[in-house]
Structure 1
Amino acid sequence: MSETSSPSSARNAVVAAALDLFARQGFESTSVDQIAQAAGISRSTFFRQFGGKDDVVFADHEVLLDQLREYLAGEHANPWEAVCEASMQVYRHFAADPELARRRYAVVRGVPALRDREIVTVFRYERLFDEYLRSALPGLDPLDAVGFAALVTAVHNHVLRQLLRGPKKVPASVLRRALDDALVRFGVDNGAHEEADDDLVVAVFPRRMPPAELARRLQSEL
């Protein structure tokens, strides 16, 4: 690797080298020394950047989770939509290099310990969305926060698996349509009520809309 390469590209090169080795000779049979040699870095640099063999497989998720925390910490007019956009950011990342994502998926599927860690990682996204909604919508029923976080995570994973399991491209628009449908089904889409121009505000809300979201929308109109 050249000294002019960016930190992210350098990390990606290490991840790609590790996944290539895992695919060719197996996860358990691949040593950290072999990964470091293939990536052109020292053993100590590898441990400083990643920590271990399993960490290199999930390195992207650690970066993404940090990015989503920063994104959700900002101001968002619609917290429900912010969660959907966070999901889109994750998908766009993996869709940008589907071949690398598919190699990672194949390695994880073949190692039970990595599959277990993958389950934990998915839950971390879901918990992040859940905690954000509770913070952004005071008084929100915890079941509504958990339900929507789980719905977005499940929809995201369903579309992502289509990308990972097949050779065809699955554009981000597929996930966007699915998330739009999730917003409608949960009763929190932006088009759920009609606006009036005079002093009388008439709004129609789905019965399934969480009370905290209903209160938020009424407050924004009055």
Structure 2
Amino acid sequence: AYLGSGYDMNVYSKCLRALGEFAGTENHFIGTSWGGTILLLFLQMTRSKAARIILNDVPMIGGPNIDAMRDEVLKESTLAFETRAMAKDYLSATRAVMGPIEDTVFNRYVENRIATGPRGFRLAYDPATTGNFGALAGREYDLFPIAAKIDARILLMYGRGSQVIERQIIERTRLARPDLWLVDNIDAGEPPSLMTLDQALLILGFLSAA
């Protein structure tokens, strides 16, 4: 179900706080793309504790590439398909973006990415969230200072073809945070899907490392 409106940082923060009430003695977070942006802002604003953080293809710095990605999401969120099969064909045609995934996993992903709309079928974007994207265009931001100050181990994950990785700034940040982990050559999509065994083992390795 969708809220219909009211999506802002306060709502996201309340949701993450609610999840934290059921956490154990350690909190581990994974944020993909703008989800990672929300996660870093939440940790900064609330001073919530985190043991380890995985940031998966997170756009750490704003700019033209980020605005272009936002525009693509907005366009895709407005697509309409006459039949479910047509929507599935569209997702299958863009499968390369996700990297190689087992058919059973991909089919489950597809079924959860299609929703019924007033004009037939659409992709399962919440209109209230994508509607806010346009207002964010052109805004400059830099999340690296936040990441450098957070008292948690951080893993930055990027696919081989990532358009948002900032290698020079990452290396500069690692001077202040030498414990910042970076894996930037994953043979996966954009962003990495986190749906394959090798990616799961990478994350588990990071979470279990001394």
| TM-score normalised by the chain length of structure 1 | 0.25
Q: Which of these two proteins has the greater Rg computed from alpha carbons?
A: 1
More helix as a share of residues: 1
Higher strand share: 2
Greater RCO structure (CA 8 Å; 6+ sep): 2
